[in-house]
Amino acid sequence: MLIICEERGMTLITVPRGTYDIMPKQALAWQWLEKKIRQVFLSYGYGEIRTPIFEHTELFQRGIGATTDIVEKEMYTFTDKGGRSITLRPEGTAPVVRAYIEHKLYGQTPVTKLFYIGPMFRQERPQAGRFRQFHQFGVEMIGDASPVADAEVILLAHDLYHQLGLTDLEIHLNSVGCPHCRQEYKTALTAALKAAAAKLCTTCQLRLDRNPLRLLDCKNASCQEIISQVPPIQNYHCADCRHHFDQVVALLAEVDVKYKLSPKLVRGLDYYSRTVFEIINNELGAQNALCGGGRYDGLVEECGGPSVPGVGFASGIERVLTTLEQKGILADFPNHPQFYLLPLGEELTTIAFSLATQLRRAGYIVELGNGAKSLKSQLKTAHKSGAAFAVIIGEDEWQAREVTLKTMADGNQKRYSVDDLLAQLPQLVIALEKSASKEE
């Protein structure tokens, strides 16, 4: 449905609910964050993959699980003009796994390490920190079943946040076992909960037979009370799962990564096996998870590939940016022009245009004034733009191929021949940046 609102007697089309525009100033913070993410992921040996924004619906039905909230309620699915069912990707793991299988990456190296950054789409109820189009960055390590892989992926998320300056986040850790021991737990859980079914919320009652593990993270107080009586999943772990988890925990301790054991953490997606984790910023309110991930040993096979294990995580860019802002870490990203060119008269516009082009081609950020406006008015605009220098091009000076360079911070000005100016610009800019950083 197109949302149209009336404003000042005009009809205005607004962004769809749960979406937003990233404006130029904010985009600088996004670019900064994306650059950091890429640097850290590359340093851990991950290669970037860019998959389509939409995929065949079946990929998500198989890859995420038919009984999950995402598949049951939240997917943007439509039939295209060729009659195919298409879905805007709600998460990044299934598409990466699809690409891994399609490009037969399993035949190239024993372990494949991929990362992605991009928009995801879920029709959830929008609220603070929860959008319908949001952005995730994530990694997938496919082909390594060892606990070292789990620990490395958790460490990677931890290190990335640390490098961003987020050093007081909580890592919540659990193991959901393998399909074998989890089935035993599910049976025991269902039996215990059925006895108290009447006291469960309606959502939990519906989930009881289809996906009982999901009851563990229900926020409803009376459900929590009942669930607290049920034995933890750890009691049902088989020897292999217990050993695997013990090693993950020991490896994290070895590199001094602090975590909290969270026996009720199961995560929303069906494909997890063994290790699951979330990284939390408790100051974010209800939507406090920055990152979620874990091991998904059955997923590649489920999606039609060979039986290879995998482990990964996904983190929300919006929540990371909000956290950085909240903690005062997100600097203001200045995007001022270095030079503001002021032609004093329309007949000097072509000269100013040509000089601006020369400077831009040399890599400087340049704004061009309007020659039809007075010197005073153009200087006012130059000040507003935050430019470091104004280059005034006047009729008389130009007769001698000279211009006036005005340093905006102190108002000092000096005449230069164009050739001298171009030759001296690098030193001038460096000197100005130095004095600006001293003032800070």
Query: Site residues (CB under 6 A) for ligand AMP?
Result: 91, 122, 124, 129-131, 134, 136, 268, 289-292, 314-316, 318-319
CA angle 144, 247, 259 (to 5 degrees): 105
Comparison of 165 and 426: residue with beta carbon closer to ligand AMP = 165
Comparison of 28 and 289: residue with beta carbon closer to ligand AMP = 289
Comparison of 92 and 343: residue with beta carbon closer to ligand AMP = 92
Smallest gap from residue 3 Cβ to ligand AMP (A): 19
CA distances from 381 to 317, 354, 366, 409 (A): 35, 20, 13, 14
Smallest gap from residue 305 Cβ to ligand AMP (A): 21
Residue 66 three-state SS: coil
Comparison of 62 and 319: residue with beta carbon closer to ligand AMP = 319
Q: Residue 215 has what DSSP assignment? A: G
Comparison of 157 and 233: residue with beta carbon closer to ligand AMP = 157
| Cα dihedral 361, 364, 370, 375 in deg (nearest 10) | -130
* Strand partners of residue 343: 393
Comparison of 159 and 402: residue with beta carbon closer to ligand AMP = 159
Tokens of 44: 């851990």
Smallest gap from residue 133 Cβ to ligand AMP (A): 8
Nearest to 378 by CA among 412, 346, 351, 336: 346
The C-alpha atoms of residue 360 and residue 370 are separated, in whole angstroms, by: 17
Position with the least CB separation from ligand AMP: 316
The C-alpha atoms of residue 221 and residue 217 are separated, in whole angstroms, by: 11
Tokens of 418: 């164009």
Smallest gap from residue 368 Cβ to ligand AMP (A): 40
Residue 158 three-state SS: helix
Residue 115 three-state SS: strand
Comparison of 131 and 185: residue with beta carbon closer to ligand AMP = 131
What one-character-per-residue DSSP string does 24-71 give? HHHHHHHHHHHHHHHHHHHHTTPEE----SEEEHHHHHHHH-TTSHII
**Is there a contact between 388 and 429 (Cβ–Cβ < 8 Å)?**
yes
Comparison of 164 and 379: residue with beta carbon closer to ligand AMP = 164
Smallest gap from residue 127 Cβ to ligand AMP (A): 9
Smallest gap from residue 316 Cβ to ligand AMP (A): 3
Smallest gap from residue 266 Cβ to ligand AMP (A): 12
* The one-letter amino acid at 108: Q
Smallest gap from residue 364 Cβ to ligand AMP (A): 38
Tokens of 281: 């910023």
